[in-house]
Amino acid sequence: MDDLLRLARTMMVRAYAPYSKFHVGAAVRDEEGGLHGGCNVENAAYPEGFCAEASAIAALVAAGKRRVTECVVIGPGPEVISPCGGCRQKLREFAADDVKVHLCGPDGLHRTVTVGELFPMSFGPHHLGRS
């Protein structure tokens, strides 16, 4: 996960978060091993900003990929960063329940969880008759 963490750190530095001042970076590995990163991007209409995880997933899809096989999220503080509800739903769309999500801080790895642990009993494509 070192390569993912390195990219996520770079993303965190690039975050545009003048309102919350809470810089977050994320990086995901796709089904072919490629890496995609994203950061949070805020704007003056506060709820319209988007999260680092959402940006990284958007970058993966924009690159023509469809599956997340590993994910790193890095936040600025000593507290374990925890993806918001919306990001758990977004991640769940592209990642299986056993995919690892590494929650990191400036000092490195804080905790590793799976997508299924982050978001049990999630609503998903199967509810709509999709696999």
Residues in the chain: 131
SS3 49: coil
Window 87-116: contact mask with ligand THU (x via CB under 6 A)? x-----------------------------
Task: Find the catalytic residue in 42, 53, 70, 117.
Answer: 53
Q: Give the closest residue to 65 by CA, choosing from 56, 73, 74.
A: 56
53 is catalytic: yes
Contact criterion met (CB below 8 Å) for 33 and 68: no
**Given the complex with ligand THU, which of 22 and 32 has the nearer CB atom?**
22
Asked if 11 is part of the footprint of ligand THU (rule: CB under 6 A), the reply reads: no
**Given the complex with ligand THU, which of 86 and 120 has the nearer CB atom?**
86
Task: Write the DSSP symbol of residue 61.
Answer: H
